[in-house]
Amino acid sequence: MIKAVSGFDRIGEENAFAVLARATQLAAQGMDVINLGIGQPDFPTPDHIVEAAVKALRDGHHGYTPATGILPLREAVAKRTLQTTGVEVSPESICIMPGGKVTMFAAILMMGEPGTEIMYPDPGFPIYRSMIEFTGATPVPIPVREENGFAFSGEEALSLVNEKTRLIILNSPANPTGGVTPRAEIELLVKGLENFPNTAILSDEIYDVMTYDGEEHVSLLTFPEIRDRLIVLNGWSKTWAMTGWRMGWSIWPDALYDNVRKLAVNAWSCVNAPSQFAGIAAIEGPQDAVTEMMTAFDARRKLVVERANALPNVTCATPKGAFYAFPNISQTGWKAKELASALLEESGVAIIGGPDFGILGEGYVRLSYANSAENISRALDRIEEFLTK
């Protein structure tokens, strides 16, 4: 029998997609399913962005583009980066990617191999660990704890770094916890990394504009001392509600840029041309839709937190960023994944069990509030009824 290489015995996946598939199946059977499982804005892509893609197609942009993306788009990303972080980056260090995820794929593939270690947040986005395992590197979880506001501790993270640490993955604002890491913790880590000049950092900043209550998003770009070993992941999926367009960008250190360019040439040639024109419109056009989306998310965030805290034996910290709440269900008597599964099958509410994001996710579930306030209320009614019976 034919068999793929051993990496494929170890590669994982994202359970949110399996939950979505099951929710869709139950809905097709006639169940009224409310989805608080999936991590994508429930808003359509703003019209002017869609129009820019249509115009690009009508103008004849049907062919390959440069592998790293068209220059005006990379210039737009550089301009936006300057606006959001105050840091100047060259368009020559930016690579347009087919989605945010592909940057983690590329970075982990580039840095991981047997005998090396890669650190990643736990609980955290499941693809980090999956890809680390794929490369044969040893995954080393950085604990992200509720008592720390779902931020990592700089001191604890540093205690895990050693000569074998090839890459450290950070994510703030974070999926699945909604945590935002304070500057002090990052400063501690960056300072300590002076002793480990061969360790690279991948900062997943895909939720960078999604913070609440004036919370500061600290970009790793603001630490010049690590610029020569920093990879930044960002993209259009969340900010401009463009998950299906498959558009991301990454910022690379000089030492790695040619690798990602060649990976693009080998794997995807370039991101589809009309999406790249849409990407320019997203960055350079009016941002009202983004503001409106964030206002809606903020209101729903308050609703989810209030309703989750009123559930029997459940507590829910107020998320500071992204569009997820991560309530603590450890006192309900339920294991998180069993609760998530029972809620979907019996009450028609799709949520994700914390262990799908790592070992430290046990005792928690992820509620995505990328759904209408009305649906959030109905879902919480059902969860309340389920936990009370």
Question: Which residues sit at the interface with ligand PLP, rule CB under 6 A?
Answer: 39, 99-101, 125, 171, 175, 204, 206, 235, 237, 243, 248
**Least CB distance from residue 245 to ligand PLP, whole Å?**
9
- Shortest distance in whole angstroms from residue 175 CB to ligand PLP: 3
C-beta of 13 vs 338, nearer to ligand PLP: 13
Looking at beta carbons only, is 39 or 327 nearer to ligand PLP? 39
Of 171 and 328, the one with the shorter C-beta distance to ligand PLP is 171
Decide whether 124 or 348 has the Cβ nearer to ligand PLP. Answer: 124
Q: Whole-number minimum distance, CB 69 to ligand PLP, in Å? A: 15
CB closer to ligand PLP out of 94 and 387: 94
Instruction: Tell me the closest approach of the beta carbon of residue 180 to ligand PLP, in angstroms.
Output: 13
Question: What token pair was written down for 240?
Answer: 């401009």
| Least spacing, CB of residue 321 vs ligand PLP, in Å | 11
Residue 15 CB, shortest distance to ligand PLP, in Å, is 12
CB of 235 to ligand PLP, least distance (A): 4
Give me the residue whose beta carbon is nearest to ligand PLP: 100
Q: Compute the C-alpha angle 298/16/96, nearest 5°.
A: 75
Question: Which of 126, 41, 155, 131 is closest to 361 using CA atoms?
Answer: 126
Q: Which residue bears the tokens 């419109």?
A: 281
Of 125 and 257, nearer to ligand PLP (C-beta) is 125
Is residue 130 within 8 A of residue 92, CB to CB? The reply is no
Output 76 or 241, the one with its CB closest to ligand PLP: 241
Which of 144, 311 has the CB closer to ligand PLP?
Answer: 144
Find tokens 């062919």 and name the residue: 63
CB of 39 to ligand PLP, least distance (A): 4
